[in-house]
Structure 1
Amino acid sequence: MEKVELVLPAGNELCLRAAVKNGADAVYFGLDKFNARILAENFNERNVFGAIRHCHNNNVRAYVAFNTLVKNDELREYFRLINVAYSADADAIIIQDPCFIPLIKQNFPDLKIHLSTQATIVNSHSVPDGVERVILARELSYDEIKALAQKFPTEVFVHGALCFSYSGLCLFSSIAGGRSGNRGMCAQPCRKKYNNQYPLSTMDLCLLPKLPELIKAGVVALKVEGRLRGPLYVATVGRIYRKYIDAYYRGEFNIDQKDIEELMVVFNRGFTTGFAFGDNVVDPKKPMNRGLFLGELRGGKLKLRSGLKVGDGVALWVGDDIKGYTVRKILKDGVEVKEAFAGDEVEINTYGAGDGTPVYKTSSVDMKLELGEEIKPVKGVIRRTEIRLPDFKVVENTSEVKIFAKTYDKNEALAADRAGADVIYYDVLKEDSLEVKDRLKRSRFFVYTPRILSDKQLVEVAEKIKEIKPDGALVGNRGLLKLLNGVTIHLDYSFNCFNDIDLNCYPGIPIISPELNFEETISLKNKRFIVMIHGDIILMTSKQKLKAKELIDEEGRRFRVRDNHGLTEILNASQLGLFNKARDYVRAGIKYFYIDVEKNAARWIRIYRKILNFEPFDDREIKKGYTTGHFNRGVY
C-alpha cells in the first residue's frame, strides 16, 4: 500500500528546512511572482535551485505554485518563471488557470501539473485533461471527496486557515479593497468587523482526528496551509501529522491530547473539522490566534485547564483588547513555582483584568524548533531557451452593440424584454423559466446556472436546459460545458477570463473578469467578450449560511447578503455604474455589455441603450453613489 503524501508549506528557506526536517513528503512554495501568497517571503530565481536540491537530497518532493490569474502582458514572464522552476527540477507546478495546461504540456512535456484549489473543483466534470493531481475545494463533503478520489488523484487540505468564500470566486478584497486574492494579494476582508462582530471569520481546519477516514477515502495527498506562518508552525504541524499518518499505517492510530494542545498553542482560531464532516466553520468572536485555553480569571486567580510554565506566553482577552506577555512568575498557594499543572489554581499577572477574562497560552518554552541542515546554494542552469506561446490575431466583433440583462423574476424579465434587451438571462432553476421564455417578444432567452454544482446537480441542470430549450445558457460552472453540446454558451465571470489564452480556450462568449481595468480589457486581441457595465458585483460565493441580510463594516459600507439556491452571496456595497464611460468600450470595438440588477432592469436597459448609441446623456447626477470598479485602477 502506497502511503498518503504529507504536503507542507514553505513561505521561506527556514520554513522549507523545517518542513523537510519534520516529516514532509513534499513541500510547496512560490516564487516572487504569480503565486497566491505574494505577501510571503517566497523564493526567487537564484535560491529556488538550492531549495529544490535540498528537498531532493532528503527524498522530499518540491511543488512550485503558479496559482494566480495572469494578465496578457504578463504571459511571457509567467511561462519564463515556469521554465525556471522546470530547470530547477520541480516535481510539479500548481496552477489556477486550466486554460494554461496545453501550453505547459507543449513547452514542458514531462512537467507535472497540479490544479490549485483556486480552480474551484467541486465536481468531476470540472477536472480538465492533462493534470496529474487535483487539489479539491475545501467545501466538499466527505462523500464528495471520496467519490472524486476514486476518479482522480486528489489532494485535500487537512490543517490551517480556511476562506469564507470558495477559493477562486472571491472578489471582496479586490473590488472593496483594491488587492486581489486571485493575484495573491488578499487583504483578508473576512477577518474584518461587520455588524460589530466577525461573521466571516473562519476557524482553522484541523483534520488530525479524521486522518483514517481521509486515507480510506483514497486521497493521495494531505496538505497543510500556512505559507505565511513561521518555521515553528511548520515544524510542529508537520511533526504531529507525520506521527499520526505513520501510526495509522502501523495500526496504532490513537491521538494524544497533548499533541492537539501543541497544535493549538502554535496557532489556531479555534479548530473545526470543516465542511467535509459537517462542522461549523465560523467563530464571530475574534479573528486572530487564540492559542490554548487555560481558563477564566476568578477572584484574581486562574484554575488551569492545562499546564503552565514560567517562560510560556499568555494572552488575556479583555473585551476587544488582547494583552499578551511572557509569564515571569507563577504563584500556587502563595508560593512561587516554576510550573503548574491542570487543575491547579494559580496567580499570574492579570494586568487588572476582571473576573471572567479568558486566558490563553500562546507559546510554550517546551516547543523547540528543529531546522535540520542549511540549504546550500546551487548555480542554476536554464534547460530551455525558447518558450513557444501563441501569436494571437485580432478578432473583431462585427456585431451591433448588444445589452445582456440578468433578471430575477418574471415581471422583471418581461419588462426587460419590452425595454429592448438583446438577451435576457433567467434562472434555470426557477419553475416559471419555460413560461418566461414563451412570453418574451423581442429578446433572446438564455438561462443562467449556479456557480457551484455537484455531479448530481450538473446532470439535473443539464437535463433542465434540454427541457427548456433556451436560446443559450450563461454557464456559471466549468463542469457544465461537457454536458451542453449544441447549446449556445456564454460564461459567467466566475470563469475568471483574464487573457487571450482564456478567450481562445473556452467555447462561447465570456463575461470578462471585472478585475481587469479598461486598458487591460481593450488590449485583449479577441474582442468577442462581454463587459459588465452596471449592477451588483458578487464579491463572495460561500457554502456558509449567514443570518444577517446585510453586513455593515466599520466604514459604514453596507454589503447585501442573499441566498442563491442554498449558497450565500455577498454583494458589493455600491453597485457598478459606468454610465458614459461605457462609450469608451464601444470606441475600442467592444460590443457586448452586461447588466445585473434585481430591480428596475428595464430602466437601466433604456438608459444604457441611449448611452451606447451615443445619444446625448448627462450622467453627472445619476452616477453619484455608484462605483466604477476597476475601470481605472485595476489590480496589482
Structure 2
Amino acid sequence: MNHQPELLAPAGSWEALVAAVQNGADAVYLGGKMFNARQSASNFDQEELARAVEYAHIRGVKIYVTVNILLANHELEEAMGFLHFLHNIGVDAAILQDLGLAKLAREVIPELSIHSSTQMTVHNLPGVQLMQETGFDRIVLAREMELEEIAIIKGETGADLEAFVHGALCICYSGQCLMSSMIGGRSGNRGKCAQPCRLQYQLVDQRGKTLVPADIGEYLLSPRDINTSAHINKLVAAGINSFKIEGRMKRPEYVATVIRTYRNLIDRALAEGQSFKVQEDEARDLAQIFNRDFSPGYFLGNPGKELMSFKRPNNRGIRLGRVKGYNRQTKLVEVMLEEPLRIGDGIEVWVTEGGRSGIEVNSILLKGKQIDFAPAGSLVGLAIPGKIKPGDRVFKTNDASLMELARETYSSARETKKLPLHFHIRARVGEPLYMKVADDTGLTVEGYSEEVGQEAQKRPITEEFLREQLDRLGNTPFSLGGLKADLEGKVMVPMREINELRRKVLAELEQKRLRGRKKPGVAQHLAERRIRGALKELEMDRASNYSEPLLSVNVTDLTSLEAAVSYGADMVYFGGESYRSKGLITEQDIKAGAEFCQKNGASLVLSSSRIMNDQQLSKFIGLLNQVRDFPLAGVLVGNLGLLKILRDFTDKPVVADFSLNVFNSATLHYLKALGVSRATLSPELTMKQVQELARTSPLPLEVLVQGAVPMMTSKYCPVGSILGGLAPGKKCGGPCHKQKCGLKDRMGLVFPLEVDQNCHMHLFNAKDLCMIEDVFTLAQVSGVLRIEAKKEDHGYVAKAVNHYRQALARFKYGHKDDYKDREAKEDLEELSNSGLTKGHFFRGVV
C-alpha cells in the first residue's frame, strides 16, 4: 500500500454531516442553498456552512462545498461572491463544473482551492492535464473510468484524483445528460435532475416491435449501485487519492452506515494487504442500508448487463426468505426466515401478481406465541396484505437495529469519533495545578488552576485519579490518549478546579485547531474590486458580428453529406464519428467528402466523438494525421482532452461543440484562450441568453436549430448488453450493425438510439428541435446555425437544409415571411415521428 486514501462522505443535511464525521469520514462534501447539483437536498445556508466548517475542522475533517452547476452570465457575480465567502469561512475546497467560473475563480479568489466536478466529464489523460493547467487542485474523474486508465493517468500526471466508490450511478456520462432537461425542464446541469432514467422503457426496432423479453425487466436505463468494498486494495494501488461516497440525497442513517463500514474496510485493507476480505456483516450492512443490487461499476471493465438493475429502480434490501404458505387459522402469511427479523423492520414481498407488497412489521408469531425477535431459520407468521402466494420472495428493506445504531451516532450528545490527547499534569503544594495538552497534530495548550494545591489530609491526587478524571471528556470530541503525571508530595486540588481548568484548556485547543486550519481571509473590498475587474474584462474583447450567418450540418454518412452540400449547406461536420447502423466512415469517405465540399463551395470540418479514452484519442490523432492534407476547414471538438491535444498539435481551426457546456461569457473567454475559433452554445440556453452572450462574445457563436438533440451519451449500451450478450467475460455479438433501435417510454414516445464506433450509446430526444420560425432572430446573433442530423438519412438532410437555406436567403434580403415559415415547419414536422419542439429557447433551465 503506497498511500492512505481520503474517505469522502456526502451530506445533504446537518444530521448527515454529523453522521459522516462521527463515523470516520476524512472529508465531507456538501452544498449551499445555491449553485449546487443537488437542489432537492436540504443543503446549508451561509450560517450553517460556517458552523459546519467549525464543527468539522475541530474534529480534523475537511469540508468541500459543491458549486457544481452551469452558470448564466447574471449569476457569475453572485457565484464569485459566494466563493469569496467560502474561502473566508475556511472551506477546504470548492467543487466546480462551470469552466467559466473556474477561470474567474483563479483570477478573483486564487487563494481558494478548487476541485473539478465529475460533471466536467474528465475521462482521459490530456483532460486531466488541462484541468491541472486551469488551476484545479483535484480532479474528480468520470465514473466510467477503469482502474488501468486511472493508474496510467496517476503515473503520468501525479494529479490528486478522486473517484466515486459507492452509491448511485448515473447511466450517462455526468455533465453530458440533457434527458431530464429536455423532457421535463429539470436540468441535471442545474442540480434539478428528475431521474427519468429510473423509469420504464422498452427497447424497440424501427417498426416499434419490442425487442426485449418481458422477464428481463423494463428499467432499461437504471443501473445498480456501485460497491467497491471488495476491491479497495486495487483502488489504492491505482493511485486514487479520495474515495467518494455518493449520497447527498440519502438519509443520515445511510451516511452513517456506509461511512462506518468503509472506514473499517479501508483501515483493514491498508493493514492486511493481500489477505484483506470484506466480512459478512459488513457486506450485509451495505446491502441492507440501500441497494439496487451492486456492481463494481466500470473499474474492472465494462460489465454490460451486469451493470443494470432491470427489474426495479429503487432499494431492494436483502433477501429475508420465501413464503411457505398461508395459515387460515391465524390468517397470517408463513415465511421461512433466512435472516433475523424483529419488530419495527420493514419488509417487502415480490408477489407473483401485482408487483410489490410492503409493510413495517408490528407483529411476529412464532410457534403460536407473539415475539419481538425471530432468528434466521424460523418459520414465522406475518400479517402481510395482498395476493401472497407460496414461493414469493420476501426482502427486508429496513433493519430497525441497524437504523438505531446509525441514528445513535448523530443524535446523541456523546461523540463517537474521539481525537486522542496527551496530558501533562504537574501538582505541588502551594502552586497552581499546571495542565498541558497536545493533540495528534502537535498543537499544544497549557494553563493553570485558579487555586493552589493544598496538603492532603486524606486523599491526595494520584495518577490513577487523574486518569479517571481526564478520561471523562464526555461531550467533547477528545479522548485521553496519554498522561504524564508529575506529582510531588501529598497534594490535593479540588475536583471543580481540575474540571474547570480542563474545560478552559480544551476550549482553547478547539480554537487553536480552528485557527490552524484557516487560511488568511480576503477583505471584502479587495474581493469586490477583483470581481468587478474580472467581469469588466469579459466585456472588452468582442468578436466582430457576422451579417451573413452560415448553415452547418452534422452528418455521419457520405450520401447525407452530399445532400447537405447540394441543398445549400455552407459547412458539414463529418468523418470522426461513425454510427454502426450506417457503417464505419473510412479515410476514403473523408477524402471524397472534403473534395465534394471544396468543389461545391462548402467546407468540411472533421467531427469527433465527445467521449474518447486515451486509446481512442490516439486513434483519432492518427486519423487526423492521415487526412491533414485534405481540404479540411477545422476540427469539431467535444471533450477537454482533445481540446488540449489540438492546441499543440494542429493549426486548423477548432470548433467547440455544445458538449463543452458553454453557458456564459467567461467560458467563451476560457475557450478562446485555448485556441478555439468558434463555440457552439449549450442547447439549454434561452433565446434571451443567446442574445446577451452574442453582444459580448469574444468568439463567433453557433447554435443548434434543427434535429434530434443528443440527450445522453453512455458507456452502457442496452442493445449490446441485452441483445448482444455483453457481460463480464462475454463479448458483444454486435446487434447494432445495420439496425436502428429506440427506447419507448410509458407515454409511447420513442427516443432514437445509436451506437458509435467506440460502442458508446447515444440517446436522442423523441421530438426534433425546430427553430425555422425564429431564423430571423437567431441569424442576427449567431455566426452559424446548425442542423443536427447524425442519425438521419439523406432525405431528411435534403429537406431540412433546403428549408433553412431558404429562410436564411429571406433573412439576407430582409423578407420575413411568416406563411413560408409555417409551411416549412409543417413540412419538417413530417420528418419527426413525435413532433417538434423549440427546446429551451423560450423556457430555459435557470
TM-score, normalised with respect to structure 2: 0.72
Pair 1:383–1:30, CA change in 2 (3 A): farther
- The reply to whether residue 76 of structure 1 matches residue 80 of structure 2 is no
In 2, the alpha carbon distance for the partners of 1:255 and 1:556 equals 45
- The reply to whether residue 568 of structure 1 matches residue 746 of structure 2 is no
CA deviations over 1:424-458 (Å, ceiling 9, x no partner): 11122521222222233221011110111111221
In 1, the alpha carbon distance for the partners of 2:234 and 2:101 equals 34
Structure number with greater Rg is 2
In the other structure, the counterpart of 2:316 is 290
In 2, the alpha carbon distance for the partners of 1:245 and 1:567 equals 33
Matched residue type, 2:802: R
Pair 1:488–1:48, CA change in 2 (3 A): same
In the other structure, the counterpart of 2:359 is 325
Matched residue type, 1:199: L
In 2, the alpha carbon distance for the partners of 1:443 and 1:437 equals 9
Q: Is the 8 A contact 1:161 1:203 kept in 2?
A: yes
Deviation at 1:202, TM superposition (A): 1.2
In the other structure, the counterpart of 1:205 is 226
- The reply to whether residue 339 of structure 1 matches residue 361 of structure 2 is no
Mean alpha-carbon deviation: is it higher for 189-198 or for 131-140?
A: 189-198
In 1, the alpha carbon distance for the partners of 2:161 and 2:785 equals 38
In the other structure, the counterpart of 2:299 is 276
- The reply to whether residue 476 of structure 1 matches residue 638 of structure 2 is yes
Q: Is the 8 A contact 2:289 2:398 kept in 1?
A: yes
In the other structure, the counterpart of 2:8 is 7
Q: Is the 8 A contact 1:293 1:359 kept in 2?
A: yes
In 2, the alpha carbon distance for the partners of 1:248 and 1:139 equals 24
In 1, the alpha carbon distance for the partners of 2:190 and 2:355 equals 32
Mean alpha-carbon deviation: is it higher for 525-534 or for 567-576?
A: 525-534
What pairs up with 1:141-290 in 2 under 5 angstroms? 141-150=146-155, 151=157, 152-195=159-202, 197-251=218-272, 253-278=276-301, 279=303, 280-290=306-316
In 1, the alpha carbon distance for the partners of 2:12 and 2:344 equals 27
Pair 1:384–1:627, CA change in 2 (3 A): same
Secondary structure of the residue that 2:243 maps to in structure 1? Answer: strand
Secondary structure of the residue that 2:114 maps to in structure 1? Answer: strand
**Paired residue for 1:390, among 526, 529, 535?**
535
In 2, the alpha carbon distance for the partners of 1:358 and 1:80 equals 54
Deviation at 1:333, TM superposition (A): 4.0
**Paired residue for 2:335, among 299, 302, 308?**
302
In 1, the alpha carbon distance for the partners of 2:74 and 2:535 equals 13
In the other structure, the counterpart of 1:619 is 822
CA deviations over 1:129-181 (Å, ceiling 9, x no partner): 11111111111112112222322111111111000100000000001110000
In 1, the alpha carbon distance for the partners of 2:356 and 2:619 equals 50
Secondary structure of the residue that 2:802 maps to in structure 1? Answer: helix
Secondary structure of the residue that 1:275 maps to in structure 2? Answer: coil
In 2, the alpha carbon distance for the partners of 1:298 and 1:305 equals 12
In the other structure, the counterpart of 2:117 is 116
Matched residue type, 2:280: Q
CA deviations over 1:200-230 (Å, ceiling 9, x no partner): 1111111111111101111111000000011
Matched residue type, 1:26: A
CA deviations over 1:217-269 (Å, ceiling 9, x no partner): 11111000000011101100010000111111221733221121111221111
Deviation at 1:399, TM superposition (A): 5.2
- The reply to whether residue 16 of structure 1 matches residue 14 of structure 2 is no
Mean alpha-carbon deviation: is it higher for 174-183 or for 146-155?
A: 146-155
In 2, the alpha carbon distance for the partners of 1:482 and 1:475 equals 10
What pairs up with 1:235-634 in 2 under 5 angstroms? 235-251=256-272, 253-278=276-301, 279=303, 280-300=306-326, 301-318=334-351, 321-352=355-386, 353-367=388-402, 368=405, 369=407, 370-371=409-410, 373=413, 383-385=523-525, 386=528, 387-388=530-531, 389-391=534-536, 392-393=539-540, 394-398=542-546, 400-428=548-576, 430-431=585-586, 432-440=589-597, 441=599, 442-469=601-628, 470-484=632-646, 485-506=650-671, 507-524=676-693, 525-526=696-697, 528-547=700-719, 549-565=741-757, 566-587=759-780, 589-597=781-789, 598-599=792-793, 600-614=796-810, 616=817, 617-620=820-823, 621-622=826-827, 624=829, 625-634=835-844
In 2, the alpha carbon distance for the partners of 1:240 and 1:320 equals 36
Mean alpha-carbon deviation: is it higher for 497-506 or for 104-113?
A: 104-113
Secondary structure of the residue that 1:80 maps to in structure 2? Answer: helix
CA deviations over 1:97-119 (Å, ceiling 9, x no partner): 23433321222222111111101
In 1, the alpha carbon distance for the partners of 2:523 and 2:228 equals 40
Deviation at 1:343, TM superposition (A): 3.1
In 2, the alpha carbon distance for the partners of 1:480 and 1:567 equals 17
Pair 1:618–1:111, CA change in 2 (3 A): closer
Secondary structure of the residue that 1:50 maps to in structure 2? Answer: helix
Secondary structure of the residue that 1:630 maps to in structure 2? Answer: coil
What pairs up with 1:40-59 in 2 under 5 angstroms? 40-59=41-60
Secondary structure of the residue that 1:223 maps to in structure 2? Answer: strand
Secondary structure of the residue that 1:268 maps to in structure 2? Answer: coil
Secondary structure of the residue that 2:76 maps to in structure 1? Answer: helix
In 2, the alpha carbon distance for the partners of 1:530 and 1:218 equals 40
CA deviations over 1:27-58 (Å, ceiling 9, x no partner): 00011111110111101122111111111000
Deviation at 1:9, TM superposition (A): 0.4
In 2, the alpha carbon distance for the partners of 1:555 and 1:544 equals 24
Matched residue type, 1:491: A
In 2, the alpha carbon distance for the partners of 1:623 and 1:404 equals 17
In 2, the alpha carbon distance for the partners of 1:142 and 1:608 equals 47
Q: Is the 8 A contact 2:574 2:604 kept in 1?
A: yes
| Structure 1: 5+ residue stretches without partners | none
Q: Is the 8 A contact 1:84 1:382 kept in 2?
A: no
In 1, the alpha carbon distance for the partners of 2:104 and 2:771 equals 35
Matched residue type, 2:669: N
Deviation at 1:70, TM superposition (A): 0.4
Q: Write 1 or 2 for the structure with the bigger share of helix.
A: 2
In 2, the alpha carbon distance for the partners of 1:532 and 1:634 equals 15
Q: Is the 8 A contact 1:148 1:154 kept in 2?
A: no
In 2, the alpha carbon distance for the partners of 1:528 and 1:143 equals 39
Deviation at 1:481, TM superposition (A): 1.8
Deviation at 1:571, TM superposition (A): 0.4
Q: Is the 8 A contact 1:98 1:115 kept in 2?
A: no
In 1, the alpha carbon distance for the partners of 2:608 and 2:178 equals 19
Q: Is the 8 A contact 2:68 2:95 kept in 1?
A: yes
In 2, the alpha carbon distance for the partners of 1:341 and 1:161 equals 31
In 1, the alpha carbon distance for the partners of 2:199 and 2:160 equals 36
Count, aligned residues: 634
Matched residue type, 2:822: D
Matched residue type, 1:285: K
Pair 1:333–1:181, CA change in 2 (3 A): same
Deviation at 1:309, TM superposition (A): 1.5
Q: Is the 8 A contact 2:545 2:700 kept in 1?
A: yes
| Structure 2: 5+ residue stretches without partners | 203-216, 327-333, 416-476, 478-509, 578-584, 724-740, 830-834
In 2, the alpha carbon distance for the partners of 1:171 and 1:320 equals 33
Pair 1:618–1:133, CA change in 2 (3 A): closer
Mean alpha-carbon deviation: is it higher for 248-257 or for 358-367?
A: 248-257
Q: Is the 8 A contact 1:158 1:207 kept in 2?
A: yes
